[in-house]
């Protein structure tokens, strides 16, 4: 679908310049944009590439000389990347999921299906499940017994919502998401080597082999409104109480959220990260890619954990952490600089030893 520049500006809150009657139907990088595209040139280095393409319109920063770039029109914003959020939503063609209920879907007679719900091929909806109005289920989704999915949910292909999970409005779950699988809870008849090692800080370890007994997860998962979860991420159900994910949380691909975890609202957890059982993340926490948070910890509000950080102890609010084990980012950077200086330091010490040996006649 094509929109005029004026329509786009009004919809996403950007300023329109030039010929606002021009119509565009897509976005592209400056060097590959055609006459029907908006070139994304939100910084000067990208704007310099506009001449390599055929764009007539571009998204630029406030004060940019759009006419000097040879454009017929422009959209500007003091924060162009934020404005891109609305623009991308307008231009998204979607996944092409059909409306209505596919004949191959299996819907339990006791399930409650809201108005304007789309249910794709080979979906299964269990007894007592409630699917909110305006929701879309892509092919091969599973909604378990007594699950609640709020209005406007979007489940892409192969999403699994296991029994009794409670999901708020406007969830976006990408392919392969599993919410409500059992937690990873096992115990041995006598204290295990892991328990001994933890209590003794590694002095004691495994001295006998024991089999693991499984602890069933009796809780479920509660997810707030406006949450998005990336491909193949998993949120385990709680041992007794629910695992909780607050409203506005954004979770990337391949993330593991353990049993009993609480994730505060508007937090962000990036790809490959893992949060172990019973840990509490505050509000607006950012967990970088491939970071890990140990169990039974408290991570304060607005904490930022850099990529690959491994957190083994509580973190006060507002801290920026990096490294393994995690430490304040500035301390980690200083430590890393010191590590890089070690070879030179060793050479300097060796040279000093030689000089002293010559002075003392011991060479």
Going by C-alpha positions, the residue among 26, 30, 57 that lies closest to residue 41 is 30
The distance from CA 147 to its chain's CA centroid, rounded to whole angstroms, is 23
Characterise 146 by phi-psi region: left (phi > 0), alpha (psi -120 to 50), beta (else).
Answer: left
Q: Which strands, in side-by-side order, build the sheet including 160-161? A: 106-107, 124-125, 142-143, 160-161, 178-181, 234-236, 256-257, 274-275, 292-293, 310-311
Going by C-alpha positions, the residue among 83, 95, 4, 89 that lies closest to residue 41 is 83
Contacts of 97 (CB under 8 A, 6+ apart): 118, 120, 136, 138
Catalytic residue among 17, 156, 174, 259: 259
Q: Which two structure tokens, joined as six digits, stand for 187?
A: 């115990």
Q: Using an 8 Å Cβ cutoff, are 81 and 60 in contact?
A: no
Neighbours of 171 (CB within 10 A): 27
Q: Using an 8 Å Cβ cutoff, are 145 and 166 in contact?
A: no
Please give the C-alpha separations between residue 285 and each of 105, 161, 166, 281, in angstroms, as whole numbers. Answer: 39, 25, 23, 7
Q: E strand or H helix at 187, and its extent?
A: strand 186-187
* Residue 156 annotated among the catalytic residues of the structure: no
- Residue numbers annotated as active site: 259
């Amino acid at each position: 679908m094509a929109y005029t520049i004026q329509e786009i500006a009004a919809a996403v809150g950007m300023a329109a310049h030039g010929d606002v009657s021009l119509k565009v139907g897509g976005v592209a990088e400056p060097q590959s944009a055609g006459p029907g595209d908006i070139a994304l040139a939100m910084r000067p280095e990208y704007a310099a590439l506009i001449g390599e393409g055929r764009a007539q319109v571009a998204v630029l920063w406030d004060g940019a000389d759009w006419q000097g770039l040879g454009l017929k029109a422009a959209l500007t914003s003091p924060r162009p990347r934020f404005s891109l959020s609305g623009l991308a939503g307008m231009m998204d063609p979607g996944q092409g999921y059909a409306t209505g209920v596919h004949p191959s879907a299996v819907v339990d007679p006791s399930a409650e299906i809201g108005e304007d719900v789309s249910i794709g091929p080979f979906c299964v909806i269990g007894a007592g499940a409630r699917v909110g109005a305006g929701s879309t289920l892509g092919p091969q989704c599973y909604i378990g017994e007594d699950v609640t999915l709020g209005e406007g949910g979007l489940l892409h292909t192969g999403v699994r919502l296991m029994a009794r999970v409670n999901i708020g409005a406007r969830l976006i779950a990408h392919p392969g998401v599993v919410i409500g699988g059992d937690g990873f809870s096992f115990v041995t008849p006598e204290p295990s080597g892991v328990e001994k090692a933890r209590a003794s800080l590694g002095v004691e370890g495994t001295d006998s082999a024991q089999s693991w007994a499984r602890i069933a997860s009796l809780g479920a998962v509660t997810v707030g409104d406006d949450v998005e979860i990336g491909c193949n991420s998993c949120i385990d159900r709680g041992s007794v109480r629910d695992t909780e994910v607050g409203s506005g949380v954004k979770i990337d691909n391949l993330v593991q959220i353990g049993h009993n975890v609480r994730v505060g609202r508007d937090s962000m957890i990036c790809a490959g990260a893992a949060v172990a059982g019973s840990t509490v993340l505050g509000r607006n926490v950012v967990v970088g890619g491939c970071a890990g948070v140990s169990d039974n910890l408290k991570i304060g509000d607005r904490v930022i954990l850099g990529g690959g950080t491994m957190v083994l102890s509580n973190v006060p609010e507002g801290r920026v952490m990096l490294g393994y084990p995690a430490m304040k980012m500035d301390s980690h950077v200083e430590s890393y600089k010191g590590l890089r200086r070690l070879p030179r330091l060793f050479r300097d010490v060796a040279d000093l030893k030689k000089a002293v040996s010559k002075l003392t006649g011991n060479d």
